Amino acid sequence: MLPVPAGVPTVGLTTLGYALLGVALGTCSGLTPGLHANNFALLLASVVPVLPGPTVALGAAMLAAGVVHTFLDVVPALALGVPDPATAAVTLPGHRLVLDGRGREALRLSALGSGLAVVVALVVAVPVTRAVETVYPTLRRHLPVLLAAVGTFLVGTEPTWRRRFGAVATLGVAAGLGWLVLDLEPTGPVAAGGVLAPLFAGLFGAPVLIEALSGRGVPPQADPTVTLDRRTVLGTATAGAGAGALVGYLPGVSAAVGTVLVLPAVPGRSGARGFLVASSGASTANTVFALFALLALGTPRTGVMVAMERADTVASAGVLLGTVCLAAAVGFALVVSVGDAYLRTVGRLDYGRVCLATGGLLAGLAYLFAGSLGLAVFALAAVVGLLPPALGVRRVHLMAVLAPPIVL
């Protein structure tokens, strides 16, 4: 065993070790479709009494897992569920790039969006949090009205009246699904799940895979050159950080919803590339702002923050912010190094079998985290998740599933 250098605190080395453990767990969760860092965080929270070392080290592990996951979850999202080119108009923006042979560029755009958004979020998080502290009581009292305004804006951004009516129908059905299942308390073999895991796997995972069964899989991918200019990348990443702030402080607003809200403020038309940069940035910046929301307001906004609060691991802001920087740097490198190989590997496999195997994995995770009831929720959510492409509207309207407990 190597000797510990003089002057290096043992606690610091322990915390670093736990942070690297979190990086490894976030890598596994990010590259596994249907698995989220929240599940790892809740597992860690359940075993905190028997783990050695300071609790802040465990918090570093949870936080690192969450940050790395937000970088890497784009990899299976791009490689799996690629539809037939004929349906590209109503599919996910990242899949359109993959169909055009620009998947490697998409990976780098996502990494840039996440990395730049972390930098922006760390710079502005303190003043933004202070501002939110001032207005938060008012926002909380008027939250139903605010969420209604968000829903109205999302509907209004659909290009035709037919699609707007489809968006209203999707919002209503998703909200009804949330009212039906969110109060359920299923139990599964692993006590770290709950209903959200099968719910979101059904809404956003299974329908994409079902549509992809008739697709041709991942086509050959061209060079990784990023075709967006630097100013546009920086502008859309900053917009993503702004969306991350909305998600971090307001319950019921997802990264995709926040991106739709802020992206019109970005000058120019960046299309699918801009949305990918901004949505990736929103997802990662959300973790930073959610951390500040927990530290300043005592309100956990993500599963990782819930687990950290439950395990009483929010002890040192400096250590946690250092963990964010470490995890972001590693996550950025992993997207580029692992993502290309992931795309190549999936592209060589029988794509129908890949989709079926991935669907089986999602169903297995639904059972693992929520038992038989989880499978029922997964199946029902999958049916609802097929509604947006059938109506030709964006899948983001499905996030209304989270509205009922917030409004009621």
Per the domain annotation, does 41 fall within a domain?
yes
pLDDT at 270: 65
The reply to whether 216 falls in a domain is: yes
Which range marks the domain in which residue 249 is found? 10-406
More confident residue, 311 or 235: 235
**Stretch 104-112: mean pLDDT, rounded?**
93
Nearest partner of 114 among 266, 270, 244, judged by Cα:
244
232 occurs within a structural domain? yes
Q: Please check whether residue 139 lies inside any domain of the structure.
A: yes
Q: And the tokens for 196?
A: 């959200």
Rg of the chain over Cα atoms, rounded to whole angstroms, equals 20
- For the chain, the average pLDDT equals 82
Closest C-alpha among 358, 102, 311, 53 to residue 213: 358
Per-residue model confidence (pLDDT) at position 5: 44
Number of domains observed in the structure of the chain: 1
The pLDDT confidence band at residue 301, using thresholds 50, 70 and 90, is: confident
Question: Which pair of tokens denotes residue 198?
Answer: 């099968």
Q: Is residue 4 part of a domain?
A: no
Res. 193: pLDDT tops 80: no
Query: pTM for the whole thing?
Result: 0.84
Here the tokens at position 119 are 């930098």
Q: Directed axis angle between helix 255-262 and helix 271-297, to 10°?
A: 120
| Residue at 2 is within a domain | no
pLDDT of residue 117: 94
Supply the angle between the helices 55-72 and 317-348 in degrees, to the nearest 10: 40
In a domain, 1, yes or no: no
Say if CB 87 and CB 386 are below 8 A apart.
Answer: no
**What is the crossing angle of helices 55-72 and 10-31, to 10°?**
30
Name the range with the highest mean pLDDT among 136-140, 324-328, 367-371: 324-328
- Kindly report the backbone phi and psi dihedral angles of residue 404, in degrees, each rounded to the nearest multiple of 5, phi listed first: -55, -50
Cβ-contact 41, 65 below 8 angstroms = yes
Where is average pLDDT lowest: 9-18, 143-152, 181-190, 228-237? 9-18
pLDDT digits (tens, 9 = 90+) for 210-269: 877 877 778 888 888 898 888 889 988 998 898 888 877 877 677 777 777 776 766 556
Within-domain flag for 53: yes
User: Beta-carbon neighbour count of residue 130 at 10 Å?
Assistant: 11
**pLDDT grade for 84, boundaries at 50, 70 and 90:** very low
CA dist 303 and 203 (Å) reads 18
